[in-house]
Structure 1
Amino acid sequence: MKPITLKTVAQQAKVSIATVSKVVNGINKGISAETVERVQRIIQQLNYRPNRTGRQLRAQRNYIVGMAIVDDSPTFLTDPYTTHLVAGLSNFLGSHNYGLLLHGIAPTNFEQSFLLKESVVDAICLMLSGPIAQRRRYLDLVLASGHPVVAFQEKPVKSLADCCFINQDDQGGAETLAEKIVLRNPKRIFILTPQLQWHAIEARVKGLCKVLNKHKCNYQIISSDENLHQSIQQALDSAMAAHGVPDVVIGTNDRLAYVAYRHLTDSGHPVPGEIGITGFNAFDANAALQPQLESVRSPAYTLGQTGGEALLSRLENGRFEFDTLVLPVLPAVGTTLR
């Protein structure tokens, strides 16, 4: 039996070999939807499998995208935001015959990262944590490797070449949430943040403080290890001992908010009767949790898809179509602030 090749598919689909190659590689620009459907149908009927080695040699690519997540937690993939973003990125790349090489990196080990030392990927995606100067140094190190870069949820740097920043509107979402919080006329507010610094959290705090300062609200910013419930609980207890019981607790992500809710209600503080609580992210999995948090819905999955699309366009055309992109967030109405 003769092997099934691009030529075989092209003959049966009555198109050129180049057209089949484009469809196989997910490049459908300039090809009618009817032709794409016909080629895909023939590929499935013939059970055609691309010759990956030949494909790599012809295109001088590995068809692999690296994803580096700088996080000091060994269980970084349990974070819902990371999970949703990686899923969106991986699914998009997979649908275009690219693989995703995922690498979690502790901040102290960044320079020894496999992605920097080995040229096995065509491009690199980043999610960075740590102080802003440190994150900028990480960006410079990755760009020095010669790979095009998509940085998720990171402060844009206009001077960097071959780098695309894709964010969600964390500051705008936080401002909208804060405007709702001040309607409660709070006398004392706690803002819970993770100890590990992320640009997204910095943007949320900036948005919250902008509105709370405008309304002359009294607030304290409290940090803790978000991966340890006991750390969050102790931070809350210490803040209440120093400042009194708050009227509102704002979690800069839903994990912090849910731990605060459990701890405060277990300590005899009814929510939302005595204390209002809000979060940030509002993923679908949270719908099964009770109570439903007043929160902000993050488009993390779409962020991942958009990053994959930007990278493949860059690999195909030689440049990014945009330097920065900000996706909108939406309010998520819950029962913890009324």
Structure 2
Amino acid sequence: MSKKKLTMKEIAAAVDVSVMTVSNVINGRDHLVGEETKRRVKAAIDELGYRPSATARALRSSRMFSIGFIVLYDERKFLGDPFIAALADGLCAQLAEQGYSLTIQGVFTDELSEAKAFRRMETDGLCLLLSGSQPTKYNLRELLKSLRQPIVLFQEGVQRAEPDICSIRQDDRGGGRLLAEHVVSRGARSVLVVVPQVEWPAISERVGGVREALHARPGVEMRVLVSESEKDADVQAALTNYLDQGGKPDAILAANDQMAIAAHTVLEQRGLTLPDQIMLTGFNRFNFWRYFSPKVTTVISPAEQLGRTAATALTRRIDDGEFEDRDIVLPVELVQGQTT
């Protein structure tokens, strides 16, 4: 004999709250519920083994209880990027707590004309992380806006004419300023910023922050070195060529930690000691950072928290009909290592 399925009414009776309170917790509206009550309801759900019917929820609310995460990127193995993976981790974890699933899809710039398949996406909202030129990003944004779903845009600002788009980003410009001020305070008078060829808005912001900080420091020179990609071999080839042509900066500010680690190999081969002869910084400080020696001076990225924040903002928008805040910026923090 099959076990009788528990109802929300029985959960409510066990915790001595209303059925609406239980429904709010189960359906991701737990911001309407006090922390202690939410804890008791979730404990009862776990203890009693309640499992909501996804089909019934969709029929009652005309929702799919699914969110899409779309990445516009030229690399086929885009989930190998630690920033994208951390965003996805945060999204998955928070959406799961709120009863939503996550669909992840990569879009490649050379296949953008075939992206009309997104019109068939059965989701309630979308999260976008876009690389490439402004026209390319604009085309995909316009296509996805035609789906008439609320959108969270990672790492970019929004226009006032886009009322159903929310921007969630970390303070990359502020992070760039922190790194530039840090190396200059330690004597750097020539700074080389190493970036990948692919256009990421976050990296553009970091470069902008460095430029702003150095503009206020007369006599400090800044140059930008473009690597074909973020891959070790490409970063090392670009830096080797730069040094072979006589370049010798006081500090190298890499766009992220993996590029900084690649650059370190070249500096080590040249016999340049860090930080006495040259300084080196990265950006993001994901888990692999702790396994590399020397510890690279870097900036902590709240990437996973960006994903969690996006999940909360999007599900609240689905409940309430509008975004509470359309421009959310999370702070970053400089961590000094052994390379500056």
Amino acid at match of 2:73: D
Distance of aligned partners of 1:156 and 1:53 in 2 relative to their CA distance in 1, 3 Å threshold: same
Distance of aligned partners of 1:42 and 1:186 in 2 relative to their CA distance in 1, 3 Å threshold: closer
1:224 corresponding residue in structure 2: 227
The answer on 1:212 being equivalent to 2:214 is: yes
Return the offset for 1:70: 1.1
Distance of aligned partners of 1:34 and 1:238 in 2 relative to their CA distance in 1, 3 Å threshold: closer
Amino acid at match of 1:85: L
Q: Which runs of 5+ in 1 are unaligned?
A: none
Note the alpha carbon deviations across 1:11-33, whole angstroms, 9 max, x for none: 43343332222221132344344
1:190 corresponding residue in structure 2: 192
Provide the C-alpha distance between the structure 1 equivalents of 2:268 and 2:305, rounded to a whole number of angstroms: 35
Aligned identity (percent) is 34
Return the offset for 1:206: 0.7
Distance of aligned partners of 1:13 and 1:243 in 2 relative to their CA distance in 1, 3 Å threshold: same
Question: What are the residue-to-residue correspondences of 1:132-281 with 2, within 5 Å?
Answer: 132-215=134-217, 216-281=219-284
CA contact (8 A) 2:231 2:259 kept: no
Amino acid at match of 2:129: M
Return the offset for 1:149: 0.2
Return the offset for 1:131: 1.3
1:15 corresponding residue in structure 2: 17
Provide the C-alpha distance between the structure 2 equivalents of 1:233 and 1:199, rounded to a whole number of angstroms: 23
CA contact (8 A) 2:193 2:224 kept: yes
The more displaced of 75-84 and 124-133 is 75-84
CA contact (8 A) 1:226 1:256 kept: no
1:289 corresponding residue in structure 2: 292
Match of residue 113, structure 1, among 99, 112, 115: 115
2:102 corresponding residue in structure 1: 100
Distance of aligned partners of 1:232 and 1:36 in 2 relative to their CA distance in 1, 3 Å threshold: closer
Amino acid at match of 1:312: T
Return the offset for 1:253: 0.9
Note the alpha carbon deviations across 1:285-334, whole angstroms, 9 max, x for none: 31121111111111111111111110011000000001111111111111
1:90 corresponding residue in structure 2: 92
Return the offset for 1:187: 4.2
The answer on 1:315 being equivalent to 2:318 is: yes
Provide the C-alpha distance between the structure 1 equivalents of 2:31 and 2:85, rounded to a whole number of angstroms: 30
Question: What are the residue-to-residue correspondences of 1:29-44 with 2, within 5 Å?
Answer: 29-44=31-46
SS in 2 for 1:57: helix
Distance of aligned partners of 1:330 and 1:32 in 2 relative to their CA distance in 1, 3 Å threshold: closer
Provide the C-alpha distance between the structure 1 equivalents of 2:231 and 2:179, rounded to a whole number of angstroms: 26
CA contact (8 A) 1:85 1:300 kept: yes
Note the alpha carbon deviations across 1:251-294, whole angstroms, 9 max, x for none: 01111111001111022222222111111112243112111111
Distance of aligned partners of 1:159 and 1:25 in 2 relative to their CA distance in 1, 3 Å threshold: same
Distance of aligned partners of 1:298 and 1:176 in 2 relative to their CA distance in 1, 3 Å threshold: same
CA contact (8 A) 2:230 2:259 kept: no
Distance of aligned partners of 1:246 and 1:314 in 2 relative to their CA distance in 1, 3 Å threshold: same
Note the alpha carbon deviations across 1:149-196, whole angstroms, 9 max, x for none: 000111332221200001111111111211111123334322100110
Return the offset for 1:114: 7.1
Amino acid at match of 1:18: M
CA contact (8 A) 2:91 2:311 kept: yes
Return the offset for 1:3: 2.6
Amino acid at match of 1:4: L
CA contact (8 A) 2:72 2:106 kept: yes
Return the offset for 1:90: 1.1
Amino acid at match of 1:228: K
SS in 2 for 1:326: strand
Q: Which runs of 5+ in 2 are unaligned?
A: none
SS in 2 for 1:126: strand
Provide the C-alpha distance between the structure 1 equivalents of 2:189 and 2:258, rounded to a whole number of angstroms: 24
Amino acid at match of 1:6: M
The answer on 1:4 being equivalent to 2:2 is: no
Provide the C-alpha distance between the structure 2 equivalents of 1:290 and 1:70, rounded to a whole number of angstroms: 33
Provide the C-alpha distance between the structure 2 equivalents of 1:30 and 1:280, rounded to a whole number of angstroms: 37
1:63 corresponding residue in structure 2: 65
CA RMSD of aligned residues (A): 1.8
Distance of aligned partners of 1:117 and 1:285 in 2 relative to their CA distance in 1, 3 Å threshold: same
Distance of aligned partners of 1:2 and 1:105 in 2 relative to their CA distance in 1, 3 Å threshold: same
Distance of aligned partners of 1:11 and 1:115 in 2 relative to their CA distance in 1, 3 Å threshold: farther
Amino acid at match of 1:327: L
CA contact (8 A) 1:115 1:121 kept: no
Provide the C-alpha distance between the structure 2 equivalents of 1:107 and 1:288, rounded to a whole number of angstroms: 34
TM-score of the aligned structures, taking structure 1 as reference length = 0.94
Provide the C-alpha distance between the structure 1 equivalents of 2:64 and 2:54, rounded to a whole number of angstroms: 9
1:302 corresponding residue in structure 2: 305
SS in 2 for 1:113: helix
TM-score of the aligned structures, taking structure 2 as reference length = 0.93
